[in-house]
Amino acid sequence: MASVLQFTVLFLHSTALSVLGTLVVSEIPQERAMPRLQLGEYTPAKLEPTKQGEEPIGQQELKVNFYATTCPNAENLVAQEMKLVQAEDPSLMPSLIRLHFHDCFVRGCDGSVLLDSGSGTEEKDATISRSLRGFSTIERLKKVVENECPKVVSCADILAMAAREAVFLSQGPRYNVETGRRDGSISIENETYTNLPPVNGSITAIKRVYAKKNLTTKDLVVLSGAHSLGVSHCASFSYLLYNYNGTGSTDPTLNSMYAEKLKQQCSPNDDNTIVQMGSGNPLTLSSGYFKSVEDKQVVFNSDEALLHNKATRAYVDEQASATSSQKFFDDFSRSMINMGRVQVLTGNKGVIRSVCTDYY
């Protein structure tokens, strides 16, 4: 179930993101879908606490206010422009979060998802990337910053700042973004399939992807909360409603009333209709997502899979009964910072691109 994110989305998976992935507007071809897990298949696990103040080896050059002397107004410029973007099209907020998730999970947070040679072989050309949005917004933000500080602020940092502002403008927290990333010059379509968290994968498969990125089980479940944002096409999950696992029936793990509601919105073979994920406001980040997971009112395996691990389920249950989103916001801020450290290029590595779609 979806984000980044794919996503997505989230985000988070692949469309949120996967969570990142999966994050947000999630698009997964039906033929790639996997059967959902059955409730009760728990995998014993300990929910690792995020280690405060710890940076992975080789990434110590990332820091808050990296551009304090070279482009001191960079973050304000991005924040001001993002307010205008949000006023013009609020639906871009979850899309930009998902874009950041996608970028960090495929090659690391190096802006590689933005590259475009026109050859049809880049990350953005992959099937699971085709619903990504926000590329022109990142170029718009980049131009604003370039006008004041030419070739100083990387596209990777612009994307990280944009995601932070998108979270904040979606009524989420406004956390400190560590900056100092440089841009990569490699973008390979096939890498999206092997590096994004599988939106329709098991909890074991999703944990494996996060672990490869030096992210914890807690990061996984927290970042999945980005799926409170965004919408999805009926085509992404209609098989759950009308032909689950080839049986011609509805997925039995779906909340029956929720399934009937979705059927009223999505007819069989409906490729165009868009519906919101969960029961909350698709433009508002909140811990209400976890209540939807607990109530089995989610349509992507990456969401429902959180119920199949003791550690992730404990967090779902805790947040589902929470009277405030504050703890989730605190955790989300820390996990976004952790994700922003994944395989970054700093120092003399990478380049600073003037145009985010160009390789140099």
Mean pLDDT within 286-315: 94
Distance CA 191, CA 173 (A): 31
The annotated binding site for Ca(2+) is made up of 103, 106, 108, 110, 112, 123
Annotated binding site for substrate: 197
Answer whether residue 49 shows pLDDT above 80: no
Strand-pair partners of 14: 17
Concerning whether 102 is annotated as a catalytic residue, the answer is yes
Q: Which residues are annotated as a binding site for heme b?
A: 227
pLDDT in tens, 144-182: 999 999 999 999 999 999 999 999 999 999 999 999 999
Confidence of residue 230 (pLDDT cuts 50, 70, 90): confident
Indicate whether this model's pTM tops 0.75. Answer: yes
- pLDDT of res. 300: 85
For the stretch 173-199, pLDDT in tens is 999 999 999 999 999 999 999 999 988
Mapping DSSP onto H, E and C, the string for the chain reads: CCCECCCCECECCECEEECEEEECCECCCHHHCCCCCCCCCCECCCCCCCCCCCCCCCCCCCEECCCCCCCCCHHHHHHHHHHHHHHHCCCHHHHHHHHHHHHHHHCCCCCHHHCCCCCCCCHHHCHHHCCCCCHHHHHHHHHHHHHHCCCCCCHHHHHHHHHHHHHHHCCCCCCCCEECCEECCCCCCCHHHHHCCCCCCCHHHHHHHHHHCCCCHHHHHHHHHHHHCCEEEHHHCHHHHHCHHHCCCCCCCCCHHHHHHHHHHCCCCCCCCEEECCCCCCCCCCCHHHHHHHCCCCCCHHHHHHHHEHHHHHHHHHHHCCCCCHHHHHHHHHHHHHHCCCCCECCCCCECCCCCCCCC
Contact (Cβ atoms closer than 8 angstroms) between residue 238 and residue 250: no
Indicate the annotated binding residues. 103, 106, 108, 110, 112, 123, 197, 227
**Which candidate in 13, 102, 233, 308 is catalytic?**
102
Mean pLDDT of all residues in 220-228: 96
Question: How many whole angstroms separate alpha carbon 172 and alpha carbon 174?
Answer: 7
CA–CA separation, 28 and 31 (whole Å) = 8
Phi, then psi, of 52 in degrees rounded to 5 = -70, 135
Residue range 71-89, pLDDT digits in tens: 999 999 999 999 999 999 9
